[in-house]
Structure 1
Amino acid sequence: MSDFPHDIDLDAFWDRATHCKINQAPASAAMIAELQAELGYRLPLSYVAFMNRYNGGRPHLCCCPTEQGTSWAEDHCAIDSFLSIGRDAAYSLGGSLGSRFKIEKWGYPDLGVYICNCPSAGHDMVALDYRECGPEGEPRVVHVDQERDYAVTVLAPNFEAFIRALVSPEVYDTSEQDYLDDLDKVASAPFSALLEELLEQFHEVPDLGPLIRQIALRIVHEKRYFALHADPLSQLLYDLQFWLYRNCYPVNDEESYLQVYCDMIAFAKGFGTGGYAPDFIRDWFRARLAGGQMRQAADGLVLTPAYRAQLLEQLSGFRPLSPDSQEQP
């Protein structure tokens, strides 16, 4: 068996802290032959040699540049782990969640052998693509994007070139600029049409719009990005959105509220988080019902007067915060 090029430090390539959870013993020649017959493709010698050192695992160098956007980023895709060559582990080429599973159960195109999982938990994959070279030839390495109707993006002309193309995620680290952009967004981006409408009809809290921005600014300062989770400030914004919406429209149950929730902040084009996890809203909703802060009234669910008074007390603790301030409010 040929060696992988010596100028690539395979010991440094792998994340040794986690690879042992995925890594398998090197595949025998008999196992490789069996898998090739089962999959219908000859595995490239460079790939076999590469996997002979560490048979599966997570790499430190896990980003591959692309000339077109993917569901992960506009200029690269990311790899979570390499499937091992074998069939005992679920995430191995012949395992229960291996290459054929992706094709037969998840609808991925039958273009070759799927060799890498991505961080999306199955919504994109990296594969050896044999469509041009045939099952005995030297395959290209491609990214297959389920989120974009299984779009195929060529990553490298062969496996060795693919490994040489991989770079550290630090190359694409935009967290500082993202932080500054989110500060600017929550300080000045327009509210959604629905949120504006609700604020115009709400008179119980003067200047609630600016107060919502102050809460969001504090979230961005603490998290370094704008997102709502299960923390107290997120819970406060959940409360305020419900209070605003309920002031204008009835809320009969959890699911009907979830259908309108996303139009206030979650999917707003300006002041918005760019998405949300429904389970956070469900947990908040159920906790408010169980805790007695929300109750059933004649015309639907409402926050109790005592809890509205508690929210007013919370809001009194906020003061103006400029978007370029690093001070915690």
Structure 2
Amino acid sequence: MAFEALLGRPLPADYREFLLKHNGGYPVVTLGEAQDGEEFMLGGFLQLDPDGMDEPYTMHLCTPARREADYGWGLPADALVFADDPGGNLFTLSLDDPHHTVRFIDHESDAPFETHQVLAQGFTAFLQLIRSVDSQAALDAAAQREERKMLTSGSFPVALDAQLQRAEAHLPEVREAVRRACLEVFDEKTHFALHDDPRSRHVFDVMLWLHETATGPGITRADMHEILKAWFRDARGGFGLNGYAPGFLDDWWAARFDEGALEGDVNGKGTFTPAARTALVATLRARSV
């Protein structure tokens, strides 16, 4: 009631009930689809803070006038910001509009408020756009099956394929070995992304070995970040990497020097030792069976 007094207008009944029951929060599933089929992602719902009722902190509700005074979004007096997304964009609920229109406000756009994307007519209708746990789980499972299929049989990116062609002279089973190494990462994570774990580090090893086999030994740590780009998918339905953590690649580089698998200068150029190269080829050959 105190917040409505500050607003100078009542809250929509369904949104008022939501605040009384939950007062903001973070949904289990954050993805939804707008009326036009475009996907959006919710960060979280703002909460009403009784001790700071009109303070525009990150996750606190405040009046449109206060938010406008502090941030200058060009919001009308009845456009209540009730949620945000991970990119800092806003979701607004029009309080004076009899339909209580929900809009997505792109923080990078200077367009007039009324031209921003309409997501729903009313708060409840907006909630219904957010996917259920079961529907999101089904979509995730389908996406995982498709990604595994791409790793199993998708065409290799052009740059990686060129390296594999050269490497086949040294290891005829190299394509199967690469797929197997990447599938092991996928099966552990349910997506193909490289981090700080033994299977990811093995894939980093394979990347370096392929590059050395194709172009000769001796690269820098910075070179590895460029070499890795050849592993990203370059065609729909093709084999490819989804992402990696750059810091973990740097950690791998330092660790391989510490372990004696790489020789040279950790801050300059490095290459596999003959023993490490031989051991890696033996591992690839064994994993391709």
Question: TM-score normalised to the size of structure 1?
Answer: 0.66
- Partner SS for 1:259: helix
Letter of the 2:104 partner, please give it.
H
Amino acid at match of 2:103: V
The equivalent of 2:280 in structure 1 is 311
Q: Does 1:79 align with 2:42?
A: yes
Q: Pick one of 152, 166, 186 that aligns with 2:151.
A: 186
- Cα separation, 2, equivalents of 1:278 and 1:170: 33
User: 1:225 Cα shift?
Assistant: 3.3
Taking the aligned partners of 1:147 and 1:205, their CA distance within structure 2 comes to: 50
CA offset at residue 317 of structure 1?
A: 2.9
Higher relative contact order (CA 8 A, sep 6+): 2
Distance change in 2, residues 1:170/1:136 (3 Å): same
Give 1:293's aligned amino acid. A
CA contact (8 A) 2:191 2:242 kept: no
Does the alignment pair 1:229 with 2:185? Answer: no
Q: Is the 8 A contact 1:114 1:125 kept in 2?
A: no
Partner of 1:18: none
Identity of aligned residues (%): 25
**Distance in 2 (alpha carbons) for counterparts of 1:281 and 1:117:** 33
TM-score, length basis structure 2: 0.74
Q: How does 1:1-329 map to 2 (within 5 A)?
A: 29-34=1-6, 36=7, 43-60=11-28, 62-68=30-36, 70=38, 76-86=39-49, 87=52, 90-94=58-62, 100=67, 104=71, 110=75, 112-118=79-85, 122-123=86-87, 125-128=89-92, 130=94, 136-138=96-98, 139-144=100-105, 152-172=116-136, 173-202=138-167, 203-247=169-213, 248=215, 252-262=219-229, 264-269=230-235, 270-296=238-264, 300-320=269-289
Q: Could you tell me how far apart the structure 1 residues matched to 2:110 and 2:146 are?
A: 30
Does structure 1 conserve the Cα–Cα contact (< 8 Å) formed by 2:263 and 2:272? Answer: yes
**Which whole-Å CA distance do the structure 2 matches of 1:236 and 1:149 have between them?**
47
Distance 1:216 1:45, change over 3 A: same
Distance 1:52 1:212, change over 3 A: same
Contact 1:65 1:165 in 2 (8 A): yes
Is the alpha carbon distance of 1:129 and 1:49 closer, same or farther for their aligned partners in structure 2, counting shifts above 3 Å? closer
Q: Distance in 2 between the 1:94 and 1:251 partners?
A: 58
RMSD over aligned CA atoms reads 3.7
Aligned residue for 1:295, secondary structure, equals strand
How far apart are 1:272 and its partner, in Å? Answer: 0.3
Q: Which amino acid aligns with 1:30?
A: A
Report if the CA contact (8 A) 1:62-1:80 is conserved: yes
Q: Is the 8 A contact 2:82 2:93 kept in 1?
A: no
- Tell me, which stretches of 5 or more residues in structure 1 are unaligned? 1-28, 71-75, 321-329
Give the structure with the higher percent helix: 2
- Letter in structure 2 aligned against 1:57: G
8 A Cα contact 1:185 1:271, kept in partner: yes
Tell me the distance in 1 between the aligned counterparts of 2:152 and 2:144: 12
Query: CA distance change for structure 1 residues 109 and 64 in 2, over 3 Å: closer, same or farther?
Result: farther
